[in-house]
Every structure is written in C-alpha cells, then in structure tokens.
Homo-oligomer: A and B are copies of this chain.
Amino acid sequence: MVAETPPARHDDLHAAFVNCTLKRSPEISHTHGLMKRSIALMQSQGVSVDQIRLADHDVADGVYPDMREHGWEFDEWVDLWPRIRDADILVVGTPIWLGEPSSVLRRFIERLYSMSGELAENGQYVYYGKTAGVLVTGNEDGVKHSAMSTLYSLQHIGYTIPPAADAGWIGEVGPGPSYLDEGSGGPQNDFTNRNVTFMTWNLLHLARMLKDAGGIPAYGNQPERWRRGERWGYSANPEYR
C-alpha cells in the first residue's frame, strides 16, 4: 500500500544540521546550499531544526569532552555538545577536498567520539536511539568516499543509519562550478534532488520509529553491564546447528 500523506506527524522531532565547510560566515557555503533543501523539507513537517556551522566556533582539537582542562584556552565544543545530544536526527554536511571530507568534519567526529564515555540512563552509549545522514558537495569526485567515512563513524558510535542516508552533488570530473554557482546544474540535478528527498524522509521515518519505541531496547548493548559480566546469551563456546 502506498501512503498519499505522511504516515505520521514529526513535529516533536529535533534535528541538528552540522555544516563542516572550511569557510567561516559570511562566506558562501555550497554545502549549506545543499543542506538547506533537506532543512526546508524537515521544517515543512514541523521538525525543529538547529543549524551549526562548525567553522564559526572555536572548537579545540582533541578527544576529551572539554579541552580547556587539557591546556586549551577556549573550547566552544562544551556549548555545542548539548545541541547535538538533544537532537533526534543528525545531518552532517561536508565539502570534498582531495577526495576526502574536510578536516573540520574529522574534528567534529573526534569530538563526538570524545563523548563516548557519557552513557545514557539505561546504560547505552548516548547516541543510541538517534538517526544520522550525510550530505556532500564538491566539484570533482568523492561523494561516496566522504559519505562512507562519515556514516561509518556515526554508526560505530551508536547512530542508526536508515536506507540511502547519503546524498551529494559533484559536477563532471575536474574543476568546474560549485553547487551554488550560476549554471552549475547542481540545484536542478534530478538524481541529487531525489537522493536528498529519500534521505530526509528515511531519517524522519526511522526517527519516528525509534522515538515511539523509546529508543533501542536496552538489552545486549550496555558496556558497563558487559564489563560486570552480563552476556545476554552470548557464548564463547557456541554450539550451533
């Protein structure tokens, strides 16, 4: 059966869109140009969207929750963290440089990782029960490689990745116009537009499902309980058929 209207309401959901462009405001970010397509669709469904342009914040390098305790004079990560933690949906945007996501994206991932000691009340890692996707822009090549690296990190720390959770735009191989440049063809690209739509709806569907279920069941996935000896049926000497 095919739904003609959205199968549920989504106006209780919170999404964080983190733009990992190397450029600070007010420079034009082509990555933002793509991200706002997904943002607008979420907003049209009542989702509250929080936007962070990481390069506008003095986020320290490192893998601790607060780098000011490790010799840095500043660390705006401390202020940004609650905005990430409280979002049901995370969408990361990145430009491509030499086929790779930006250094700003890697810094963001390192800081997400730095919070992995923080556990939820039910003992799961704090990213459990949330969904994530990635948007990539460039003018040459590297959408899939950038998405691969980013989505891997996000699922590894606890996000659920819905189907087709990556979308992006690049032009024909070689230098050329960027996404928002006149005549780039990016904003009109049917493939990119379709993928942004699918990604956005799949994030909404999974976020809805996870929120309604109260997250992922707290059974078989709590590090402290494992450490204390709980095994949830796992055997190191399995008999199996």
Contacts and interface: CB of A to CB of B under 8 A. Distances in A.
A213 B164 CA distance: 19
18 contacts: A22-B61, A41-B235, A44-B235, A97-B110, A98-B110, A98-B153, A103-B106, A141-B144, A144-B145, A151-B151, A155-B166, A156-B164, A158-B163, A160-B161, A160-B162, A169-B173, A198-B221, A202-B216
A192 B171 contact: no
Q: Which of A192, A200, A219 has the most CB of B within 10 A?
A: A219
A141 B153 contact: no
A163 B232 contact: no
Interface in A115-145: 122-123, 125, 127-128, 141-145
Contacts of A78: none
A196 interface: yes
A102 to B, nearest CB: 7
Contacts of A233: 6, 41, 44-45
Q: How many copies does the complex hold?
A: 4
A28 to B, nearest CB: 13
A152 interface: yes
A114 to B, nearest CB: 9
Contacts of A22: 61-63, 110
Given A151-B152, A151-B161, A173-B191, 8 more contacts: A2-B122, A2-B219, A3-B217, A44-B235, A97-B110, A102-B106, A158-B164, A197-B221
